[in-house]
Amino acid sequence: MFSTRMEKPADSFYRQLPKVELHAHLNGSLSVATMEKLISRKPHLNIQHSMTAIHKGQRRTLDECFQVFKVIHQLIDTEEDILMVAKDVIGEFAADGVKYLELRSTPREETHTGLTKRKYVETVIEAIRQCKQEDLDIEVRFLVAVDRRNGPQVAMETVKLAEDFMVSSDDVVVGLDLSGDPTVGHGKDLLPALLKAKNCGLKLALHMSEVPSQKEESELLLTLPPDRIGHGTFLHPEVGGSQSLVDKVRERNVPLELCLTSNVKGQSVPSYDKHHFLYWYKLGHPCVLCTDDKGVFSTELSQEYQLAATTFGLSREAVWTLSQQAIGCSFAPDHLKEKLRQRWVSLQAQASGR
């Protein structure tokens, strides 16, 4: 069993930088401390830390990454687990200087514990409410996730659930995520559910072009169009995508959620300096740095900013701009976006000692 230590924390500049996290899977964001609590609650599962995190210098195939999630799901099967996990994750993002967070998760049911999909979402919303009551310095919203592996019928049911909560959750549920193993299924089967979500006012954050074989699917999904794209690893022609895909993304000005450590450790990108962040950043296209799964990939958002800065030679001013621009890519209501922008201006003035 390898070390469960977090990789070296980011420099204080990146930790203190106010940040926006728009691509964070709840169950993939569990820290070592939270995993220890879950493992101690369920010793009969005999789960080791080494099965739930990918550390420095390690790589995993996409399939192995999804196996990690199966292990984590075994540990989270009650409302009590979900409440604890969500509160821990929100608290850790806040401690890392994240001021606005959009969590995403697929509603799950567990017949042996009585957990229903509706209760799952309600419990995440309750965790967000409790964190707000406890005056944590972070605004949190929730994206209900459709797992593409579960097919069109379940996707439609999930959209209906998300629509219900969009209306009843006091602006906490703001959108829909499409995720899951990209090698399973085809987006065309999920199009009716995604269209329904869009038509009822849910914002769409879709995992797209995670693997090279998704070119046709990406063309199709861009007709919606999505409000944000997760990863978009193989959109551009230099890695087997197409200029047509790039043109469509740029015409629609769809922001990209980019996750450096996740892509390198998950082997979809060969190295940090080859990450597609640079391709889109040089085009001036809206890019948002994200963690994806901070627990599984042993990272924090401050580390992702430091990695981008050191790898691509970004000045501190450029880093502030990148962070601030992420506000406009969020699904936050306009009044909250304005409040966040004012906060950034104030914090930057403090940081520069004016």
- Tokens standing for 38? 């879950």
**C-alpha angle with apex 270: 264 to 271, nearest 5 degrees?**
65
Largest pairwise CA distance in the chain: 58
Edge-to-edge, what's the strand order for the sheet holding 203-208? 19-25, 98-105, 139-147, 173-179, 203-208, 228-231, 256-258, 287-289
Residue 33 has a CB neighbour count (10 Å cut-off) of 12
* Unique residue bearing structure tokens 């070119």: 215
Beta strands in the chain, from DSSP E residues, in sequence order: 19-25, 98-105, 139-147, 173-179, 203-208, 228-231, 256-258, 287-289
- Active-site residue 64, yes or no? no
CA-CA-CA-CA torsion sign (64, 236, 101, 315): positive
The residue from 210, 217, 257, 304 that is catalytic is 210
Beta strands 139-147 and 173-179, pairing class:
parallel
Active site residues: 210
